[in-house]
């Protein structure tokens, strides 16, 4: 068994807590690795390294910091295949999907390289007689990132490139289910010239997370994961005086209007519902066709495509959908299909009994694509985030009923409408209470220079990830008011200064 280590102060550090956890290859169902689970003392060591590195790093000229990130970006371009393979080996997603994830993460590094521009301050001349003021953005200190299993490369890269570029140091606590990629990032950053201690990794579970939440030297926490944990992170982190941005779970609806291009909508739904086995926070898990006629026609187009899905390991480059991440998650997803059926949904395509016949992959955590029809708001399979390749069809009679359905759900991460009607599209974009909206675009993930985040129970905190929101989250404003005496002295003033 290989043990996946921590990375502290520029070096790999073996776990000393005596606790570890198996890391599985979801495509084979086998495990040849464990991951160390950090103790409080191990988290303390990582935070201490980051704290010690901060004074020099925060004073390093922004352009010099950006050049290190630029070198990292070039290394990542060259080795993106290697990182994609590492992602697939622990997450299970297909090779091309893993490559796409690396690229979306790399785009945030490209954005962060522009940090010298974002850190430019403001200067105001003569705010009073012979008095000037200037405002700058300064780093916070040690920032921590706690990330989910479903994007082991991209989600950490939503965080640390912006944090580092703006002068902070960082401690990453990746998901214990696919931890290896975090060490690749650490190693390649060092190769790019990052000083020791600026970027650290602690592997672990709740013990490590709680130690970060309670540590007085951690100034900010970025979290992405499920809603109950996001809420816990937000409440505990803010109660301990930290800045927190905590992104949670999702249940993304796609409205299909009668005037939509139905072939386009069906194809979009295939990618958005079944890509990455539905383990994406921007996956479309609810299709809302407006009118029964649209629902029937859509389902007719979907059935053969779902049945033809190529479900297989990343090693087969033609696979369109990989396995689920763990055996427990496979059981959970099957359970949601069972409960939907028991509560009255119609299982139109049933992926529960899918068997992987490729030699060596028979015990992988595979499931087929599933389509449920006649799903209603009261069913568990509608209320909960399933996080698997299961699309629920909720039929509605009008656009307004479809919008009301979306507004009735507590999650509000992403949504989409498929229509040819500009009026409907504009109203939807303007009025829908969801953070990320697609018009004939099923997965409207904002680019690195924009910011990513949902609304309602899909986020806790005020700042979305990356783009200028990321810069604001990882910096604090300082305003200095300056007067240079010219020899003329005035008497003390005891009233509020105003410009009369």
Catalytic positions are 281
Residue with tokens 């390093």: 60
Here's the x/- map for ligand NAD, 463-492, by CB under 6 A: it reads as: ------------------------------
What tokens appear for 138 in the block? 């300064």
| Min dist. Cβ of residue 151 to ligand NAD (A) | 6
- Residue 249 in contact with ligand NAD, rule: CB under 6 A: yes
Closer CB to ligand NAD, 142 or 144, in the complex: 144
Residues 230/247, Cβ–Cβ less than 8 Å = yes
* Cα(228)–Cα(459) distance, integer angstroms: 11
* Cα(225)–Cα(246) distance, integer angstroms: 8
Closest by CA position to 343, among listed 373, 313, 305, 388 = 373
Closer CB to ligand NAD, 16 or 328, in the complex: 328
Distances in whole angstroms, Cα of residue 311 to Cα of each of 92, 172, 308, 314, 414: 11, 32, 9, 10, 26
* Cα(170)–Cα(182) distance, integer angstroms: 12
Burial of residue 310 (number of CB atoms within 10 Å: 0-12, 13-18, 19+): exposed
Closest by CA position to 199, among listed 212, 214, 211, 182 = 182
Residues 73/106, Cβ–Cβ less than 8 Å = yes
Closest by CA position to 63, among listed 138, 119, 122, 135 = 119
Residues 264-303 that bind ligand NAD (CB under 6 A): 281
| Min dist. Cβ of residue 126 to ligand NAD (A) | 45
- Residue 387 in contact with ligand NAD, rule: CB under 6 A: yes
- The CA-to-CA distance between both ends of the chain, in Å, stands at 76
Q: Which of 34, 39, 458, 475 binds ligand NAD (CB under 6 A)?
A: 458
| Min dist. Cβ of residue 16 to ligand NAD (A) | 19
| Min dist. Cβ of residue 229 to ligand NAD (A) | 4
Choices 35-43, 77-85, 246-254, 314-322; region in contact with ligand NAD by CB under 6 A: 246-254
Choices 14-22, 80-88, 141-149, 304-312; region in contact with ligand NAD by CB under 6 A: 141-149
- What is the 3-class SS of 97-140, one letter each residue? HHHHHHHHHHHHHHHHCCHHHHCCCEEEEEEECCEEEEEEEEEC
Closer CB to ligand NAD, 106 or 247, in the complex: 247
Residues 35-64 that bind ligand NAD (CB under 6 A): none
Size of the site for ligand NAD (CB under 6 A): 27
| Min dist. Cβ of residue 159 to ligand NAD (A) | 11
- Residue 150 in contact with ligand NAD, rule: CB under 6 A: yes
Question: Which segments within 16-130 are labelled E, that is strand?
Answer: 20-25, 30-36, 122-128
Q: Which of 171, 221, 247, 372 binds ligand NAD (CB under 6 A)?
A: 247
- Residue 248 in contact with ligand NAD, rule: CB under 6 A: yes
Burial of residue 330 (number of CB atoms within 10 Å: 0-12, 13-18, 19+): buried
DSSP strand pairing (390-393 vs 370-373): parallel
Choices 143-151, 163-171, 195-203, 362-370; region in contact with ligand NAD by CB under 6 A: 143-151
What tokens appear for 219 in the block? 């100034």
- Residue 454 in contact with ligand NAD, rule: CB under 6 A: yes
The CA angle 315-201-100, to the nearest 5 degrees, is 35
Here's the x/- map for ligand NAD, 153-172, by CB under 6 A: it reads as: --x-----------------
* Cα(99)–Cα(227) distance, integer angstroms: 27
Choices 41-49, 122-130, 192-200, 248-256; region in contact with ligand NAD by CB under 6 A: 248-256
- Residue 105 in contact with ligand NAD, rule: CB under 6 A: no
| Min dist. Cβ of residue 205 to ligand NAD (A) | 5
- Residue 413 in contact with ligand NAD, rule: CB under 6 A: yes
Residues 339-358 that bind ligand NAD (CB under 6 A): none
| Min dist. Cβ of residue 258 to ligand NAD (A) | 31
Closer CB to ligand NAD, 198 or 224, in the complex: 224
What tokens appear for 373 in the block? 């029809």
| Min dist. Cβ of residue 300 to ligand NAD (A) | 30
Closest by CA position to 47, among listed 215, 237, 241, 168 = 215
* Cα(162)–Cα(471) distance, integer angstroms: 6
* Cα(166)–Cα(108) distance, integer angstroms: 13
Closer CB to ligand NAD, 54 or 149, in the complex: 149
| Min dist. Cβ of residue 332 to ligand NAD (A) | 10
Closer CB to ligand NAD, 147 or 168, in the complex: 147
- Cα 20 to the center of its chain, rounded Å: 25
Q: Which of 35, 250, 306, 471 binds ligand NAD (CB under 6 A)?
A: 250
Closer CB to ligand NAD, 66 or 155, in the complex: 155
DSSP conformation class of 216: T
Here's the x/- map for ligand NAD, 204-243, by CB under 6 A: it reads as: -xx--x--------------xxx--x--------------
Closer CB to ligand NAD, 68 or 277, in the complex: 277
* Cα(69)–Cα(185) distance, integer angstroms: 11
**Closest CB to ligand NAD: residue number:** 225
Give the 3-state secondary structure percentages of the chain, helix then strand then coil, rounded to 5.
Answer: 40, 25, 35
Would you tell me which residues interact with ligand NAD (CB under 6 A)? 146-151, 155, 173, 175-176, 205-206, 209, 224-226, 229, 247-250, 281, 385, 387, 413, 454, 458
């Amino acid at each position: 068994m290989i043990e996946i280590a921590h990375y502290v102060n520029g070096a790999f550090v073996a776990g000393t807590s005596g606790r570890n956890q198996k890391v599985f290859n979801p495509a084979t169902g086998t495990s040849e690795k464990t991951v160390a689970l950090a103790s409080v003392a191990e988290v303390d060591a990582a935070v201490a390294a980051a704290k010690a590195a901060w004074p020099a790093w925060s004073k390093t000229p922004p352009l010099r910091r950006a050049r290190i990130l630029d070198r990292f970006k070039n290394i990542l371009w060259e080795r993106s295949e290697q990182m994609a393979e590492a992602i697939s080996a622990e997450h299970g997603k297909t090779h091309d999907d893993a490559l796409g994830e690396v690229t979306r993460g790399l785009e945030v590094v490209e954005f962060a390289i522009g940090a010298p521009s974002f850190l430019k301050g403001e200067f105001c001349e003569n705010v009073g007689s012979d008095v000037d003021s200037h405002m700058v953005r300064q780093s916070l200190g040690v920032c921590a990132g706690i990330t989910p299993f479903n994007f082991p490369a991209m989600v950490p890269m939503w965080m640390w490139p912006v944090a580092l570029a703006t002068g902070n140091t960082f401690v990453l606590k990746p998901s214990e289910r696919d931890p290896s990629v975090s060490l690749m990032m650490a190693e390649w950053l060092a190769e790019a010239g990052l000083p020791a201690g600026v970027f650290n990794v602690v592997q672990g579970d709740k013990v490590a997370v709680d130690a970060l939440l309670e540590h007085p030297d951690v100034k900010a926490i970025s979290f992405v994961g499920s809603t109950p944990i996001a809420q816990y992170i937000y409440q505990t982190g803010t109660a301990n005086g930290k800045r927190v941005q905590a992104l949670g779970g999702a249940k993304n609806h796609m409205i299909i209007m009668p005037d939509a291009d139905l072939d386009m909508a069906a194809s979009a739904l295939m990618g958005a519902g079944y890509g990455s086995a539905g383990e994406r926070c921007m996956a479309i898990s609810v299709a809302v066709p407006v009118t029964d006629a649209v629902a029937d026609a859509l389902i007719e187009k979907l059935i053969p495509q779902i049945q033809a899905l190529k479900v297989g390991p990343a090693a087969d480059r033609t696979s369109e959908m990989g396995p689920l991440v763990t055996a427990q998650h496979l059981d959970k997803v099957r359970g949601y299909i069972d409960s939907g059926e028991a509560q009255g949904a119609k299982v139109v395509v049933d992926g529960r009994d899918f068997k992987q016949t490729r030699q060596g992959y028979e015990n992988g955590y595979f499931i087929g694509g599933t389509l449920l029809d006649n799903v209603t708001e009261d069913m568990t399979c509608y209320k909960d985030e399933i996080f698997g390749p299961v699309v629920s069809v909720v039929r509605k009679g009008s656009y307004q009923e479809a919008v009301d359905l979306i507004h009735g759900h507590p999650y509000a991460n992403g949504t989409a409408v498929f229509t040819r009607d500009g009026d409907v599209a504009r109203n939807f974009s303007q009025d829908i209470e969801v953070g990320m909206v697609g018009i004939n675009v099923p997965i409207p993930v904002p680019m690195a220079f924009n910011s990513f985040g949902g609304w309602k129970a899909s986020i806790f905190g005020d700042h979305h990830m990356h783009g200028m929101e990321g810069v604001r989250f990882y910096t604090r404003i300082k305003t200095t008011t300056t007067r240079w005496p010219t020899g003329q002295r005035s008497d003390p003033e005891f009233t509020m200064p105003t410009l009369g």
